[in-house]
Chain A
Amino acid sequence: MKRHLRILDHAIATLLQSPIKTLVVVSVYSLLVATVVSLVLYVDAHHREAEALLASAPEIVVQRIRGGRHELIPLDRAAEIREIHGVGSVTPRVWGYSYDPPIQATLTLWGADSVPTETLEIREGAALNMDAGGSCLVGQGIADERFLGIGERMPFRCADGDLAAPTVVGIFSSESAILTNDLVVLPNPLARRILGVGPGLATDMAVEVINPREIDTVARKVQERWPDVRVVTRRQVLQTYGAVFDWRGGVWILAISGSIAAFGILVWDKATGLSAEEARAIGILKAIGWKTTEVMELKAAEGVVVSAVSLLTGLIAAEIHLVLFNGAVFAPVIKGWSVLYPPFDVSPELGGYGLLVCIPLAVLPYVAASLLPSWRAAITDPDTAMRS
Chain B
Amino acid sequence: MTLREGFLTRVVLAFLVMEIAAAVSLALIGSYRCARVRQARPANQLLVSELGLSDLALWSDASYCRHSTMALFFSAHSDHPAAMDHFPAGSMVPPPRFEISSSEAAP
B47 touches A176 (CB 8 A): yes
Q: Is the CB of A63 within 8 A of B70?
A: yes
CB within 8 A of A116: which of B20, B30, B47, B74?
B47
| B8 lies within 8 A of chain A by Cβ | yes
Instruction: Mark B residues whose CB is within 8 Å of A.
Output: 3, 5-9, 11-12, 15-16, 19-20, 22-23, 26-27, 29-31, 33-34, 36-37, 40-63, 65-70, 72, 74, 79, 84, 86, 88
Tell me, rounded to whole Å, the shortest Cβ–Cβ distance linking B35 to chain A.
9
Bound: A347/B31 CA distance, A: 8
Q: Which of A156-164, A192-200, A255-263, A315-323 contacts B (4 or more CB under 8 A)?
A: A315-323
Give the residue among A16, A118, A141 with the most B Cβ atoms within 10 A: A118
The smallest beta-carbon distance between A349 and chain B, in angstroms, is 5
B26 touches A179 (CB 8 A): no
CB distance from A104 to the nearest CB of B (A): 11
List residues of chain B with CB within 8 A of the CB of A52: 41, 45
Q: Are B50 and A348 in contact (CB under 8 A)?
A: no
| Residue interface bits A41-85, CB-to-B below 8 A is 1, else 0 | 000000001101111111001010100111000000000000000
Q: In chain A, what residue has the closest Cβ to B27?
A: A350
* Interface residue from A5, A58, A323 paired with B30 (Cβ < 8 Å): A323
Write the nearest CB–CB distance from A38 to chain B, whole angstroms: 12
Interface window among A209-217, A237-245, A283-291, A372-380: A237-245
| Residue contact B57 to A65, C-beta cutoff 8 Å | no
In the bound complex, residues from chain A placing their C-beta under 8 Å from that of B74 are 68
Of the candidate stretches A218-226, A270-278, A336-344, the one touching chain B is A336-344
* Chain A contacts for B84, CB-based, 8 A: 336-338
B residues near A185, Cβ cutoff 8 Å: 51
Q: Are B56 and A179 within 8 A (Cβ)? A: yes
Point out the residues of chain A lying under 8 angstroms from B49, CB to CB. Answer: 56-57
When chains A and B are docked, how far (Å) is the Cα of A316 from the Cα of B27?
9
Closest to A334 in B: B58
- A297 contacts across to B, CB distance below 8 A: none
CB distance from A337 to the nearest CB of B (A): 6
Q: Is A247 an interface residue (CB 8 A)?
A: yes
With A63-B70, A175-B43, A182-B66 already in contact, the answer to whether A316 and B26 are too (CB < 8 A) is yes
- Report whether B26 and A119 are in contact in the complex, using a CB–CB cutoff of 8 Å: no
In this assembly, does A381 line the interface, its C-beta being within 8 Å of a C-beta of chain B? no
Please judge, given known A-B contacts A52-B45, A347-B36, whether A305 and B29 are in contact too, CB under 8 Å. no
Kindly name the residue among A240, A308, A323 whose own CB sees the greatest number of chain B CB atoms within 10 A. A323
B23 CB, nearest partner CB in chain A, Å: 5
- Assembly CA distance A107 to B27 (angstroms): 37
In the complex, what's the smallest C-beta–C-beta distance from B67 to chain A, in angstroms? Answer: 8
Q: How far is the CB of A161 from chain B (nearest CB, A)?
A: 22
